[in-house]
A and B are shown apart, each in its own frame.
Chain A
């Protein structure tokens, strides 16, 4: 099976712009979670989607949003970018066959730089 794919791998934006990142989970996986990784804060949970519904959300401002499509692909959007949004954004997929998300497999990430 192909692994989790994320596009683009690298992105440079300026303050105030918005950005959309994409994640394609492992085939058959229904759960997609998003994380932000920074040197200062480490890996922090953004949100999780399961069957097109957001089931859990981390402590991030409303500028961070996401969605999931019927084919389980997911996108996350960050509006009004700030310098502090520069980070590696990771998505992870899980099969969640019984609705419980446990073992998560990560994609390579999207490196976002905000200038």
Chain B
């Protein structure tokens, strides 16, 4: 079945540093989404990618949809303490009927 491999599993960085995480898949996805989840809450949408090669920014966040539609990365620049959380990539199943395939998540900790 379709799977997403997300890396790294966890990161511990200093405030102000840049962060990069990525997802790869053996399957093609038409839509890639990046979410952030705080403990006990639902995932919050950060960036949505719809076109191969698309590069999209949202404040300090930048994400790109790979040309092959099999990978995506998320960069966070100048990290701040509130960036702490779990980041998930998700690909929309090819049926386009609401089935998101999620990566395992990247846990980010930021040291002030």
Q: Do A and B form a real pair?
A: yes
On A, residues with C-beta under 8 Å from B are 4, 6, 31-33, 35, 42-45, 48, 50, 55-56, 58, 88, 90, 92, 94, 96, 100-109, 111
What A residues does B13 contact at CB under 8 A?
none
Closest A residue by C-beta to B4: A42
Q: Are the C-beta atoms of A104 and B40 separated by less than 8 Å?
A: no
Residue in B31, B99, B102 whose beta carbon sits within 8 Å of that of A48 in the complex: B99
Q: List 5 A-B contacts (CB under 8 A).
A: A42-B102, A43-B90, A102-B48, A103-B33, A109-B40
Indicate if B88 sits at the interface (CB-CB under 8 A): yes
With known contacts A43-B88, A90-B43, A101–B97 Cβ distance under 8 A: yes
Report the minimal beta-carbon distance from A102 to chain B, rounded to whole angstroms. Answer: 5
Q: How far is the CA of A35 from the CA of B105 in the complex (A)?
A: 15
Residue in B43, B48, B96 whose beta carbon sits within 8 Å of that of A100 in the complex: B96
Nearest 9 CB-CB pairings of A with B: A48-B98, A106-B42, A101-B98, A43-B102, A56-B97, A33-B98, A55-B97, A100-B96, A45-B99
Indicate if B83 sits at the interface (CB-CB under 8 A): no
In this complex, the member of B42, B88, B96 whose beta carbon has the largest number of chain A beta carbons within 10 angstroms is B42
Q: Are the C-beta atoms of A50 and B33 separated by less than 8 Å?
A: no
Q: How far is the CA of A84 from the CA of B78 in the complex (A)?
A: 40
Q: How far is the CA of A103 from the CA of B41 in the complex (A)?
A: 18
Residue in B35, B42, B99 whose beta carbon sits within 8 Å of that of A109 in the complex: B42
What B residues does A105 contact at CB under 8 A?
45
Indicate if B104 sits at the interface (CB-CB under 8 A): yes
With known contacts A42-B105, A104-B33, A106-B35, A90–B99 Cβ distance under 8 A: no
Q: Are the C-beta atoms of A103 and B31 separated by less than 8 Å?
A: yes
What B residues does A90 contact at CB under 8 A?
42-43
Report the minimal beta-carbon distance from A10 to chain B, rounded to whole angstroms. Answer: 10
Q: Are the C-beta atoms of B35 and A102 separated by less than 8 Å?
A: no
Residue in A6, A45, A55 whose beta carbon sits within 8 Å of that of B100 in the complex: A45
Q: Are the C-beta atoms of A106 and B98 separated by less than 8 Å?
A: no
Residue in B41, B100, B105 whose beta carbon sits within 8 Å of that of A104 in the complex: B100
